[in-house]
A and B are shown apart, each in its own frame.
Chain A
């Protein structure tokens, strides 16, 4: 003990500190360069990610426990209310579903007439969002299934109301996803009313998307529903994305100022669906 204290008090005897720092700085810069340019480091990421996984589970556990406690101590009265609400909702959904089946059959018939390829139904799987914070500067979330379950980079994530985001990094048992509201995210959409195609860009605010590339004379107005166009390849076509809430046309500017509100409750979702889509049917071929 005394000896180790004696060593500690002399800064000159910390061996080759400057050299070690220099080497580590160079390694860091090389790593960052490799990571930025290519994806060679996926293996390393996955390895370390798997080591961090137990910690994420531990951090997530209290929140899960709290929810579970909440669920198991809900009063009978509340449960009955909820049951009633769900029954009503189910009736409505079923009614809509009946029409959907008919429409689907009709759609298939029409497509057969046009000799287009059949649309393949997307396969979905429910994933839970882990209560783990990722990078505070980005709109990210972590879900509890990973490459073990077939999740892949770029996979689309939706919830009951619309598109949530896409997977950016797949770990073995978890995956990290970016929300459509992230300021680095853009997705190809079309206006449901008239098929006008454009790009919806995240703003960094959880409840707002921008449509920066629409000319002043574009046929778009507040209340229009934006759906995925399927053109980027990452998202299957036809999922609702956002509703336009304001269109400001400034005569001098080349582009109109259009903002939209995401349909999915991006900051409230707890469960999401991952979509395994068959290669998108190109709509251009049909038109």
Chain B
């Protein structure tokens, strides 16, 4: 059983590591503002697919790692990721039967919530940041979701059939 769960966890961990690398990869300033929140998208995907294994706890840990690599308040991204993962797990059955367009709209709402929490924490802590930057990742995130979903479904299918 433990070997089974370990081999099921490994692909997910690899996708998360790749996601973190994409997150800290340097981009030209113009595109930078529109970099999707890869880790948020990945956590939403895995929480939809395997909500028993990948739920709020793992989202929190990923968030803490993100906080350290961003140098933000420790717990800021953890809180935001934790909450959107909670919403995903709570409604994962519903989200699985949504048509793709409706799902994209849901992802838009989740990412907006994610950015809003970050924005709100920044406001409370007195960290100033231009507010327009927050909306780029939400829009790109929702737009690329269909492709991301198809790609990740492929990854999931392959990693499981390979066992």
Contacts and interface: CB of A to CB of B under 8 A. Distances in A.
B82 A58 contact: no
A168 interface: yes
A140 interface: yes
B157 to A, nearest CB: 13
Contacts of A169: 71
Contacts of B92: 11
Contact of B32 (A48, A133, A183): A133
Interface residues of B, number: 46
A9 interface: yes
Nearest to A18: B86
Given A7-B52, A11-B90, A137 B129 contact: yes
Given A8-B50, A35-B73, A14 B89 contact: yes
B32 A136 contact: yes
Main secondary structure of the interface of B (DSSP, over half): helix
A134 interface: yes
A48 B71 contact: no
B78 A48 contact: no
Contacts of A29: 75, 79
B125 interface: yes
A20 interface: yes
Interface residues of A, number: 47
Contact of A135 (B27, B72, B90): B72
B26 A131 contact: yes
A210 to B, nearest CB: 13
A4 B51 CA distance: 11
Contact of B128 (A35, A36, A52, A184): A184
Nearest to A30: B75
A55 B14 CA distance: 12
Contact of B73 (A27, A32, A48, A51): A32
Contact of A52 (B26, B65, B130): B65
B113 interface: no
Interface in B81-99: 82-83, 86, 89-90, 92-93
Contact of A134 (B70, B76, B79, B83): B70
A24 interface: yes
Contacts of A233: none
Interface of A: 4, 7-9, 11, 14, 17, 20-21, 24-25, 27-32, 34-36, 41, 44-45, 48-49, 51-52, 55-56, 58-59, 63, 131-138, 140, 168-169, 176, 183-184, 204
8 contacts: A14-B89, A21-B82, A32-B76, A48-B65, A55-B21, A55-B24, A59-B21, A137-B130
Interface of B: 17, 20-21, 24-27, 32-33, 35, 50-52, 55-57, 60, 63-65, 68-76, 78-79, 82-83, 86, 89-90, 92-93, 121-122, 125, 127-130, 133
